[in-house]
Every structure is written in C-alpha cells, then in structure tokens.
Amino acid sequence: MKKNKEAVYYGDYLQLDKLLDAQALQSEKYAQPAHDEMLFIVVHQAYELWFKQVLHELRSVLAIFRADKVADESLMTVVHRLNRVGKIQQLLNQQIGVLETMTPQDFLEFRDYLVPASGFQSIQFKELEISLGLQRDTRIPFDQQSFYTRINQTDRDYLADLEQQPSLFACVDDWLARMPFLDMDNFAFAEHFKNAIEESLAKDEGILRSNELLSEEELQAELKELDSSRQNFAALFDAKLYQHMQEQGRVRLSQRALQGALFINLYREEPVFNLPFQVLNCLADMDDNMTIWRYRHAMMVQRMLGSKIGTGGSSGHDYLRKTTEKNRIFTDLLNMSTYLLPKSALPALPDSVRSALRRG
C-alpha cells in the first residue's frame, strides 16, 4: 500500500545526476583523457560506497556491544549484520578482478597525475580499521609515522576521536570475559579443561614413545612439538605465562576472554552457546576477508607497479605485503584450534553446569 504523499522518481531517489557526474578524469585536465582512468575512478568510488554500508552495519553492532549488558536476543541481529558485512567483503575481493583488467601501461597513462593522492587518504577505511580494533602502536612503522600526516586536520581530528572510543575488539573482549559460566559454585572451567588437557597430552606422549617406527631423532622432534603444545596450554591458565605471550604479541585477547571463547568453541552444541559461537565465527571470517583483500591488493599493486613506490610515498607492494601480515585483529579466534581437543576427549560438564547453561 502506498504510504508516500509525493511520487518518487527512480533517478531522483538515487540522486543519479550527482552519482553519475562524479567521475572527473585528472588526465583530461593535462592531456588526452586516459581511457582506463574511468574504470579506476568507478571501482574506487564503488569501494567507498560499500565501505559506507560496512560502517553502517558495524556502528549498529558496536552500539549493541558497548552496552553494559549484551542481551542474548540481540546476538541474532549481530550475526545477521556481520554476515552481511562478510558478503560485502567477498564482493569487494571479487571487484579487484575488475581492476586487474587494466594493464600496467594503461595505468601508467594517468598514474602520475594522481600524486600525492592514495588509499592512505580513505578516511572510511581508516575508520573501519580503528573501529574493528587496529591500534596505532601495532601498525607497521611506516603506518605509525604517516597515519595522520597525509590527511587534513578535520579528518585527523575525527579519527583521533574514534581512537578514544571502545573498538569492537575491546567490546568483544569485555563480553567474553564477563561470561558467567566460567566460574560457578564448585565448577571452574580452567581446572575442568586443564585436567582433560593433561590426560590428552599424556596419552599423545605414550603413543609417540611406543611407536617403534620412529627413529630417536624423529621421536625427539615429535616430543619437542608436544612440549610446545604443553607450553601453549600452560599459558592459557597461568597469568604470568599468558602476560608474557601478550608482550610477545602472540595473543591479544585477555586471558579470561580467551578462556570464554574456548569454552564457547568446545561446548558450542549447548543451545546457550549457539549464537555466541556464530558471532565468533563471523568475526574470524571478517578478519579473513580483510586479509584476503589486503593480499589481493598487494598482488595487484606488484603487477601494476613492480617495485615502484606508491603515489602516497609508501614502498608500494612491499608496504602492502607487510600490512597483510601485521594488520590482523581477531587472530586469537583464528588460532582457537591451538587449544581444541577432540570431542571424544572432552570431559562431560557437571549436571549443575549443564542445567545452568540451559537456563541461560
């Protein structure tokens, strides 16, 4: 049923006169227009439009997680919107293939007209990184030095203010750490799981030592790997060891938050953990998709520029490759398998805990 009082015209509603007149070729100002500059502009404008939608979804998710209490029923909204972000990210990754139809020589026809503009100046992408939880002191040195130097004061102030607000990473850390089921009555998840780990590792060691096919050198190598696993598990429950791992940059989540995430992953079939498990999966997928985007972007730049510097003054491909490795946010969720055990090795939860889980 019609609700509006005035008729809406398609072109007016989408403001197509503004949208389709927003492609001004720099090359046209100085020489013959470079044919592929139109593609370059359209693709990057499309990126910014999708960044706008991603930020729209992310802000709504942040509003939920920044509340004092995250209601269980709101997690369905979080999963739905993060899934949408994931679909958009997949589309953005595919869009690189369109840009790759431009040859390096086609790009060189107009590249030098763009200096010093670069992706450094995408305020929406910087907002996305900050809102997710990429901290300035964890960026690569070039980023730390140039993050604010290539943008105007208004944008600088806007991003600086964003850095003072709780990121999604920080909010998720708090949410996981608040899990009420980690310690209740006579149950402590740390001790419950720690015993299962020790039994599993002892069983693995017994299998290795009884394997007559292994040479002494091979046995020692396998035992060394097993000892490394023991150390990882030990840090999970030892505050000093865990702090040392954080200082080394091996983990970012707080110890209690990582325990909460592990509890959810191990017992995800419990109804109360179903949506939290999906939330954690969506966050890991989002981090994966961003890493894939950075990697494909780096490969495209290498193909277009080789070892030339970027228009923004970075080392081009080498810079982008380093950000691919460094600028990950929810790595702890991607590394969760480090601490998992087979279902058959999981100890059953006490009846009182299962009852509490099912009451929510």
Which domains does the chain possess? 10-178+252-333 (1.20.58.480)
What's the average model confidence in pLDDT over 165-191? 92
The answer for residues whose C-beta is within 8 angstroms of residue 174's C-beta and 6 or more apart is 65, 166, 257
Partners of residue 194 on adjacent β-strands? none
pLDDT digits (tens, 9 = 90+) for 318-346: 666 666 677 889 999 999 988 888 888 88
Strand, coil or helix: 260: helix
Write down the residue that tokens 């693995």 correspond to.
204
Closest CA to 282 of 240, 330, 228, 214: 330
Interatomic CA distance for residues 132 and 204, integer angstroms: 39
* pTM score, whole prediction: 0.88
Indicate the helix (H) or strand (E) that contains 227: helix 216-237
pLDDT digits (tens, 9 = 90+) for 67-115: 989 988 899 999 999 999 999 999 999 999 999 999 999 999 999 899 8
pLDDT value of position 35: 96
Distance of CA 136 to the CA centre of its chain: 16
CA-CA distances (angstroms) from residue 263 to 34, 193, 194, 273? 57, 9, 12, 9
pLDDT value of position 315: 44
User: When comparing pLDDT for 129 and 323, which is higher?
Assistant: 129
Interatomic CA distance for residues 327 and 331, integer angstroms: 10
Write down the residue that tokens 């592990």 correspond to.
262
Closest CA to 91 of 126, 51, 59, 40: 51
Helices 189-209 and 216-237, axial angle in degrees (round to 10): 180
The answer to whether residues 163 and 130 touch, using CB atoms and an 8 Å cutoff, is yes
The DSSP 8-state label assigned to residue 119 in this structure reads G
Closest CA to 100 of 318, 290, 292, 304: 304
| Residue 305: how many other CB atoms lie within 10 Å | 17
pLDDT value of position 130: 94
The answer to whether residues 118 and 310 touch, using CB atoms and an 8 Å cutoff, is yes
What's the average model confidence in pLDDT over 183-200? 86
pLDDT value of position 144: 63
Indicate the helix (H) or strand (E) that contains 289: helix 271-305
pLDDT digits (tens, 9 = 90+) for 11-62: 999 999 999 999 999 999 998 999 999 999 999 999 999 999 999 999 999 9
What's the average model confidence in pLDDT over 258-272? 94
